[in-house]
Amino acid sequence: MDRLTQIGKETRAWACYDCGKCTANCPIARAGAPFSPRRQVLSTNLDHREAIESNGSLGICLTCMKCDSSCPASVEYSKLVQKLREYTYREDNVGCPHGGALQSTMRMMAAGKTVQNRMDWITDDIRITSDESEVFYWTGCTMYLDAFFDELGVHSLNGTRAAISILNQHGITPIVSPSERCCGHDLLWGGDRKSFDLLAKHNVELVESSKASILVVSCAECLRTWKIDYAPYFSQRPPEILHISEFINARNNDLSFKENGDARIVTYQDPCRLGRHLEIYDAPRSVLGLLPGIELAEMHQSGKRAVCCAGSTWTNCDRYSKAIQVGRLKEAKATGASTLVTCCPKCQVHLKCAMNDPNLKEDIEIEIKDLAELVVEALD
């Protein structure tokens, strides 16, 4: 069986009804791009590798699973795109916004020959350890995002510090390791399986050797990687892997909130990796419900219908992505909320980037915060 036929079987591409629901629900197609998920399905089923490589649409797909969730034949379009990117991967032909600097940083971490300084962001008001603890806290690449996108006002490390502070409030001093490397999410979804394998093996060994029984993750993409893509790499039973919102909900009796919090309306952005990829919709909303003074106003498209931040895996950034981001910000503003809350650092990057448009600033400008930041602000 040739590889394309195998990919078609693994992703149920053969079952496509050719009904067009995938295209009708695709954010990129709805933004006006000449793109259809069915094109990849047809090329796969017809064994047309040249068409897959030449039509230029592999890098456009957001892999947000909007098409998967609407498909009556259960075709796994996002998985298909990931496998096709791996099948056709060549490092010199992948579109890389920001000059490929982010992918280069990830590959340097995968090679393991570069010494990282990952701990300078630790402040005196939070407690961590490098020895033993019940909880290993996974920081992800927030320190790199803050460095790369400082001019956009990105401060994703605030959410990282807040999450550790919440663990401290639970009486936990978590392990935070200076040896942590990028989870490899973007490399995997960009087709670079070799570099992803190196990162996965290193990170899984790091967490397994810590003997922590719980792994807490704040980033939606890191969480998806740990829960799904790292599963084959564990040599023993993996720790319990929880999003920070799930951890808070499980132990909310350990937290004491102010009796009268600052009244404000917030809206919530469902990251596609946390939502459609992992089906985690209720936990973040339950946490918001714990906070005094906070009123959640849902966007028209929320939960399973939510539109992603259109950033994908740094494979594409164009006017269609910008149109999706602007539309999402206008939808958030229309709720009357003063703050847009999310659980994904990349959502912050892409939505804040869109807000830098001076012609649209008043129409789309809104405060963006990580969920953990709101929790810390509400603590007594």
Residue after which a domain boundary falls, among 250, 284, 300:
250
Q: Are residues 134 and 246 in the same domain?
A: yes
Cα–Cα dist 122/128, whole Å: 9
Q: How confident is the model at residue 159 (pLDDT cuts 50, 70, 90)?
A: very high
Q: Are residues 84 and 102 in the same domain?
A: no
Q: Are residues 292 and 334 in the same domain?
A: yes
Residue after which a domain boundary falls, among 181, 215, 250:
250
Encoded tokens for 4: 């394309």
Q: Are residues 355 and 218 in the same domain?
A: no
Read off the pLDDT of residues 233-290 as tens digits, 9 standing for 90 and up.
999 999 999 999 999 999 988 899 988 778 999 999 999 999 999 999 999 999 999 9
| Count of the separate structural domains present in the chain | 3
Q: Are residues 107 and 209 in the same domain?
A: yes
Which pTM does this prediction carry? 0.95
Cα–Cα dist 181/224, whole Å: 16
- For residue 122, the enclosing domain spans 97-250
Q: Are residues 55 and 104 in the same domain?
A: no
Q: Which of 82-91, 177-186, 233-242, 244-253 has the least mean pLDDT?
A: 82-91
> What is the pLDDT of the chain when averaged over all its residues?
93
Give how far Cα 226 sits from Cα of 69, 183, 204, 279, Å.
22, 8, 9, 15
C-alpha count within 13 angstroms, C-beta hemisphere, residue 18: 5
What is the signed CA dihedral for 129, 147, 306, 282, rounded to 10 degrees?
Answer: 10
- Whether pLDDT at 94 is above 60: no
CB 223 within 8 A of CB 237: no
